[in-house]
Amino acid sequence: MDTDKVFRGSIPALYDEYLVPMFFAPYARDMAARVAVLRPHRVLETAAGTGIVTRALAAALPGEATIEATDLSQPMLDQAARHPSPASISWRQADAQALPFPDAGFDAVVCQFGVMFFPDRAKAFAEAHRVLKPGGRFLFSVWDRIEANDFADVVLKAVTVMFPDNPLVFCARIPHGLYDTARLTTELQAAGFTDVSVEAVALESEAPDALAVALGLCQGTPMRHEIETRDASRLGEATDAAAAAVAARFGAGAVNGQLRAFILTATR
């Protein structure tokens, strides 16, 4: 479990190349549109990863708006910095549970698919509340259960059968383990937030082929650590098995799968 949040080595580049366009870009556009309606002047993003939401926000917000993009992983931020980005974005390594910003400094706090990785959500939610101005908004997304997300479900099942005595659990337990939105609503209210809303958003995932799906999930996420811990020599075999399963389910060539997530919005 110590490796659940480890994004380093070749993972950031593979994540950026395969997972971002496949999973995160569609929801980044949706998130940026939601934030733009609020017309914020100063935005904080936590768990920014390689910056897909950050860049979408910069494109959607007025020119005078600024974005502080933070992530716990410096290698992920280094990968984000390889993309051209406007001067309105500042990149900074920071822990969402102990933010290095003064009280009431932001109009909006945004976090796309990062809350699941916080060891102490109560602290992270309290910090988001603290740095928001009165009336500011906290917007974040979480994945629905893995069975509602086609590619992740197929890949996990294909690779798990390779290790029957020690099944892989990362994908279901962390990225797809926080779909109880009633629980999240209660936690947000405990942190002081009001007007909590939840919206289920189903989108479509597209990939150039089945191998892109397998490479992204098996080698571009901490699922890679799970495979290598069991038998590092079988990483290629696991990737091939995942690709074969995706192709069997969705066909050869370009593949499409269902995505489902929840977007939560709360007011300071």
pLDDT for position 50: 96
Within 13 Å of residue 139, how many CA atoms lie on the same side as its CB? Answer: 25
pTM of the model as a whole: 0.94
What pLDDT, in 10s, does the model give residues 16-49?
999 999 999 999 999 999 999 999 999 999 999 9
pLDDT for position 8: 67
Among 120, 109, 14, residue whose Cα is nearest residue 53: 109
pLDDT for position 69: 98
* CA gap 235, 141 in Å, rounded: 30
Among 257, 248, 253, 152, residue whose Cα is nearest residue 208: 253
* CA gap 132, 129 in Å, rounded: 5
pLDDT for position 5: 60
The DSSP bridge partners found for residue 92 are 70
Fold entry, domain 11-267: Rossmann fold (3.40.50)
Mean pLDDT, the chain cut into blocks of 10 residues (268 residues total): 65 94 96 98 97 97 95 95 94 97 98 96 98 98 98 96 92 94 98 98 97 96 92 96 97 96 98
pLDDT for position 3: 57
125 φ/ψ angles, rounded to the nearest 5 degrees: -65, -40
76 touches 50 (CB < 8 A): yes
Query: What DSSP letter does each residue of 57-126 carry, written as one string?
Result: HHHHS-TT-EEEEEES-HHHHHHHTTS---TTEEEEE-BTTB-SS-TT-EEEEEEES-GGG-S-HHHHHH
* CA gap 250, 16 in Å, rounded: 23
pLDDT for position 252: 87
